[in-house]
Amino acid sequence: MFINWKQREIKLKIVYYGASLCGKTTNLEFLHASIPSHARSDLVSLKTREDRTIFFDFLEIQLGEIKGLKPKFSLYTVPGQVYYIASRKLVLQGADGVVFVVDSAPERRDANVEAWDNLHANLREFGFDPKTFPIIVQFNKRDLPDALPLNDLRQMIHCNGHLNVEAVASQGIGVFESLRPTIKSVMVEAQRHL
Amino acid sequence: MPKPVILSEQYTEKIEGILDELRAKTRASYVFLADISGQLINARGATQSTDIAALAALTASNMAATAEMARRIGEQAQFRLMFHEGAGSNIYLSQVGHSFLLAVVFAAEVQIGLVRLFSKRAVEELEKLAAEYENVVEQTPSMMEAGFGGAFDDALDALLPTAKTKPGAPIIIR
């Protein structure tokens, strides 16, 4: 979190975390396409030739001036593929909140668990308690015919205590609904410093 | 949540003074200071046409990637500077302490030697300033007006409204 008193800016960082191909970049693409250009930056994507995220995607959104303050939010995705695991930690550095994207496909069960455990390990390494860190869990791809039931997904990653949102990010469903509470929860924390 | 970095007005003015001087002496197009997590702290110069927030994020990732390169070739510390040369524009990046980076964006006509010399001086001044940081935070008054929380929530709800589409209804993204 950065607070600049002269420019009256508050800058917060939110990271979309999750297994490969779970829909993190899709969330950012929908936000980029839906938010008016004056309220957002360009979408920066560092992708491989196969269109996979190699380092991160980046999008900044701004709410304009509110009571003399200018809150800005930097949104990042981490690469989902396990062989870019070191990049995930680098991108997570300095994060104020996380949207954890879960793939509802049954065959992605292990990948979801791996990413969730990896998020926890990295947060602990940065000195945070994953139980109290602002994490919103987005259950994505709810339109899959064989999507796992919500209760199974919840038990799979033991995400009690974190807000859950159902989504079909490719259709924009649940994208705003995941980001909004994440921003609100990081702002609650930020306001303690204002 | 990470410890916030809170910059007072006076502190920001000191940063701006260092960046302005660097820019004037090197005749750079613009200069900026960011932290290693990619947050832009301050930018000075002709940045209007540039998406500076995205550029700050990219430079930070570039620094992070080269830190790993340094480690793998046996360097004890990170690389202190990086230079990318283009046909018309160049960018020169310097590490500032362990947590920040300084970027100078300049045209091909500008001599790299000038950029190198004055970047080094600016880094030294910024590192001194960073050492004073803890004392400054104590002096900052509250900047939040009454009613901020409610107004913030309203603005957020307006920007990210609840979708009116039913599940399954297609939404064209591009």
Q: What is the pLDDT of residues B16-33, one digit of tens each?
A: 999 999 999 999 999 999
- The average pLDDT across B100-119 equals 95
pLDDT-derived band at A11 (thresholds 50, 70, 90) equals very high
Residue pairs spanning A and B at CB distance below 8 A: 167
The token pair that represents B109 in the structure block:
């006509």
ipTM confidence score: 0.86
pLDDT-derived band at A37 (thresholds 50, 70, 90) equals very high
Tally of structural domains, chain B: 1
- The average pLDDT across B85-107 equals 94
Is pLDDT larger for residue A75 or for residue B69? A75
- The average pLDDT across A32-50 equals 87
pLDDT-derived band at B134 (thresholds 50, 70, 90) equals low
User: What are residue A188's phi and psi, to 5 degrees?
Assistant: -60, -45
Q: Judging by beta carbons within 10 Å of its beta carbon (0-12, 13-18, 19+), is residue A137 exposed, middle or buried?
A: buried
Residue B173 and residue A4: Cβ atoms within 8 Å? no
**Residue written as tokens 């900026």?**
B32
Per the domain annotation, does B156 fall within a domain? no
CATH number at residue B46: 3.30.450.30
Look at A127-141, B111-125, B128-142 and tell me which has the smallest mean pLDDT. Answer: B128-142
The overall average pLDDT reported for chain A is 91
- The average pLDDT across A88-117 equals 94
Angle at A53 between CA A140 and CA A179, to 5 degrees: 40
Residue A194 and residue B142: Cβ atoms within 8 Å? yes
Angle at B39 between CA B79 and CA B56, to 5 degrees: 60
**A71 contacts A65 by C-beta, under 8 angstroms:** no
d(CA A60, CA A14) in angstroms, rounded, equals 10
- The average pLDDT across A160-184 equals 95
- The average pLDDT across B89-97 equals 95
pLDDT confidence of residue B171: 38
d(CA A16, CA A67) in angstroms, rounded, equals 29
The token pair that represents A164 in the structure block:
């859950």
Does residue B168 surpass a pLDDT of 50? Answer: no
d(CA A117, CA A129) in angstroms, rounded, equals 13
**Residue written as tokens 């702290």?**
B41
Per the domain annotation, does B1 fall within a domain? no
Does residue B140 surpass a pLDDT of 60? Answer: no
Per the domain annotation, does B163 fall within a domain? no
Percent of chain A at pLDDT exceeding 90: 72
**A99 contacts A17 by C-beta, under 8 angstroms:** yes
User: What are residue A165's phi and psi, to 5 degrees?
Assistant: -135, 135
pLDDT-derived band at B135 (thresholds 50, 70, 90) equals low
Per the domain annotation, does B69 fall within a domain? yes
| A169: DSSP letter | G
Which residue in the set A1, A91, A171 is minimally distant from B1, CB to CB? A1
Per the domain annotation, does B13 fall within a domain? yes
d(CA B46, CA A183) in angstroms, rounded, equals 31
pLDDT-derived band at B131 (thresholds 50, 70, 90) equals confident
pLDDT confidence of residue B102: 97
Report pTM.
Answer: 0.85
Residue B57 and residue A76: Cβ atoms within 8 Å? yes
Per the domain annotation, does B112 fall within a domain? yes
pLDDT confidence of residue B136: 54
Domains of chain A, each with CATH number or no CATH: 7-191 (3.40.50.300)
Residue of B nearest to A28 (CA): B173
Pairing of the two strands A9-18 and A97-103 = parallel
Per the domain annotation, does B103 fall within a domain? yes
Range with the largest mean pLDDT of A2-6, A165-169, B44-48: A165-169
Residue B37 and residue A13: Cβ atoms within 8 Å? yes
Chain A CB contacts of B50 under 8 Å are: none
Nearest chain B CA: its distance from A130 CA (Å)? 10
Per the domain annotation, does B159 fall within a domain? no
List the domain range (segments joined by +) for residue B34: 9-137
